[in-house]
Amino acid sequence: MRQPPPLVLDRTIALQITLAGVIALPVLAAIWFGVTAGGGSAWSHIVTNRLLPYTTITLGVLCLTGLLVCLIAIPLAWLVSLYDFPLRGVMEWALVLPLAMPGYVLAYAWADLAGVAGPLQSGLRDLTGWSARDYWFPDIFSLAGLAFILGLTLYPYVYITARAAFTTQSLATLEAGRCLGESGLRLFWRVGLPAARPAILAGLSLALMEAAADFGAADYLGIQTLGVGIVRAWSSFGEPATAARLALILIMIAFAFLLVSKLSAGAAGSQHTSYRWTTPSRKLLSTPSGLGVLGACLLCLTLAFGLPVMRLIWLSLANDVSPAQLWSPLSSSLILAALGTGLAFACALVLVLASHYSRTTAWPMRLASAAGYAAPGVVLGLGGLFLLRASGQALTGGLALGLLVWIYATRFTAAGTEPLMAALSRAPASLDQAARSLGVTGSRRFWRVDLPLLAPGALAGSLILFVEILKELPATLMLRPFGWDTLAVRAHAYASDERLASATLPALLITVSGLIPVIILSRQIARTGRRNK
């Protein structure tokens, strides 16, 4: 944007700064609380005895999770985009389904499946006649087990972005690669992967921020991550301020991800030269390879979705659980998710447009949304309570509802921005320049140029937001008004008291409610793939 009228710039900057403030305020409140009220005896104890293990374990979980996410998502996205194999059309969207499964629910299910008393190990013992002490079995209650769970729930983030990048690569780029004799693996390494790197990193940084903020799965599996340490500082030592302090470290880690992803995206600097981005024609795989690829897709879906869901269904049947009173939490979940999506989406849209129109001034909002996304829900809940205290009100009615929706926006705006950003960046710079030389500016530019470009990203962004908020637990647990139990709150109440059988129905219902938007989302992704063909 060359030489914008100064008045306009001032207004947009003012709006951005205000929104950045709104997004960041709960985080800042929690940090302020941590810095001013913290430093009790628990703080020095944790710094001396626990901080190093918490941090190394967290980094270990993040590295392993990131590796697993890339190993699952990138090859599958590549194969689905460039090759034809049996059931490819179904797999293309089915691979997004695990997005509907909350990490903590997957942890419940896998802990039950793979635990020493679960069906896998019992079956092994029955088969071999061994006792439980006679053999080695992969331990789900371990750092690797946690990474396994998080990898299975979070890989769709990278799958979605990588697949979008592979299918919408400029026709010229890939065809040029093919003409030069590159094929198969070499085409992937030398052409496909470098061009898709910014998209992959964007998805990966979302997945890793989500993993860093996880509490439910790590706590259930007994892995001492920072997320668990934060809650322990609060529950065992009664020092919520110390918890808020510890959250700062997580926020720093998130900033580091953002920086790395930003830097390497900048370095790649790939700019589409042609508007005719389209999926190169898919190559038909030979029958054995085709079945092998199908097998890999099915294995991934079975581990991340089929097997755990079937186990939960079986548990609820074997224990004769009655579906009592699930209607009210279901409607609470849906209403809260809709409200939260509305606000978070509006914030994300402003953020994306701001950075589209003026790259230099968007950073306060990007930092604010990244900080919110990386802060665990518990810490944001504390920030919310701190703001409540400042307002001198009780946590009831519309105020509690508004506060909770605000926290949702803080927590999830970042998750809504990526699809929007991706949609806008698909347009070649020439389109923008053309618009400007035709004198299309301001709101006309928005309606005529940017909105049509944004539309598919907007649908994807809002669906992701809806599903994420549906799964959100800690902030909802702390801030919901009277009578607003969500499905996640119910599932947690049962599971935390070890009544897994009773938790299965609300947990399954979260997954089912999340499935509908996820299916719409994945069908849309598949459709864009076909349209571009």
Partner 1 sequence: MTQFFPRLALLAALALAGCTAQTPDPANTDSPEAAAKTLTIYSARHYDTDQVLYDAYEAQSGVAIEVREAGADQLLETLRAEGSNSPADLVIASDAGALWRFQQAGLTQGVETDRLNALVPDRYRSADGHWFGLSRRVRLVAYDPERFSAEDLQSWAKLASPDKAGEICVRSSSNIYNLSLMAEMIERLGPDTAEAWARGIVANMARNPQGGDTDQIRAVAAGQCGLAIVNHYYWARLADSASADDQSVAARTALLVPDFGDGMGAHVNLTGAAITATADDVDAAADFIVFLLSPEGQRLLTMETKELPLLDGPLQTAGLERLPAFTASDIPPDILGENQAAAQRLFDRAGWN
Q: By CB under 8 A, which span of 37-45, 80-88, 419-427, 522-530 interacts with partner 1?
A: 37-45
Q: Where does this chain touch partner 1 (CB under 8 A) — which range of 77-85, 114-122, 166-174, 198-206? A: 114-122
What is the nearest approach in angstroms of partner 1 to the Cβ of residue 70? 28
Among the listed residues 530, 503, 413, the one whose alpha carbon sits nearest the alpha carbon of residue 168? 530
Q: Is 184 in the site for partner 1 (CB under 8 A)?
A: no
**Is 394 a residue that touches partner 1 (CB under 8 A)?**
yes
Residue among 56, 122, 183, 289 that touches partner 1 (CB under 8 A):
122
Q: Which is nearer to partner 1, 270 or 441 (CB)?
A: 441
According to CB under 8 A, which one of 445, 459, 519, 532 is a site residue for partner 1?
A: 445
Q: How far apart are CA 526 and CA 81, in angstroms?
A: 10
Residue 76 CA to residue 156 CA, distance in Å, equals 10
Query: Between residue 481 and residue 500, which ones bind partner 1 under the rule CB under 8 A?
Result: 481-485, 489, 493-494, 496-499
List of residues 6+ apart from 476 with CB closer than 8 A = 336, 377, 404, 486, 488, 489
Q: How many residues bind partner 1 (CB under 8 A)?
A: 88
Query: What angle separates helix 377-391 from helix 397-425, to the nearest 10 degrees?
Result: 130
Contact indicator for 15, 364 with CB cutoff of 8 Å = no
Q: What single letter denotes the amino acid at residue 531? A: R
Q: Is 412 in the site for partner 1 (CB under 8 A)?
A: no
Q: Does 436 bind partner 1 (CB under 8 A)?
A: no
486 vs 510: CA distance, rounded Å: 9
Nearer to partner 1, 66 or 376 (CB): 376
Ordered DSSP codes for 238-305: --HHHHHHHHHHHHHHHHHHHHHHHHHHHHH------S-B-PPPPEEPPHHHHHHHHHHHHHHHIIII
- 35, 36, 41, 530: which one binds partner 1 (CB under 8 A): 41
One of 174, 385, 488, 515 touching partner 1 (CB under 8 A):
385
Please give the Cα distance from 359 to 266 (Å, whole number): 13
* Encoded tokens for 173: 């780029």
Contact 410, 348 (CB under 8 A): no
| Residues 221-280, interacting with partner 1 (CB under 8 A) | 221-222, 224, 228, 232, 234-238, 240
| Segment 52 to 111, residues that bind partner 1, using CB under 8 A | 111
Name residue 199's amino acid. Answer: A
Interface residue with partner 1, options 267, 392, 437, 439 (CB under 8 A): 392
CA dihedral 259, 260, 261, 265 (to 10 degrees): 100
How far apart (Å, rounded) are the C-alpha atoms in residues 70 and 471? Answer: 23
Is residue 346 a contact residue for partner 1 (CB under 8 A)?
Answer: yes
Stretch that binds partner 1, among 98-106, 256-264, 341-349, 418-426 (CB under 8 A): 341-349
Minimum CB distance to partner 1, residue 6 (Å): 12
CB of 157 to partner 1, least distance (A): 25
Among positions 269-298, residues that touch partner 1 (CB under 8 A) are none
Work out which of 2, 3, 6, 117 binds partner 1, going by CB under 8 A.
117
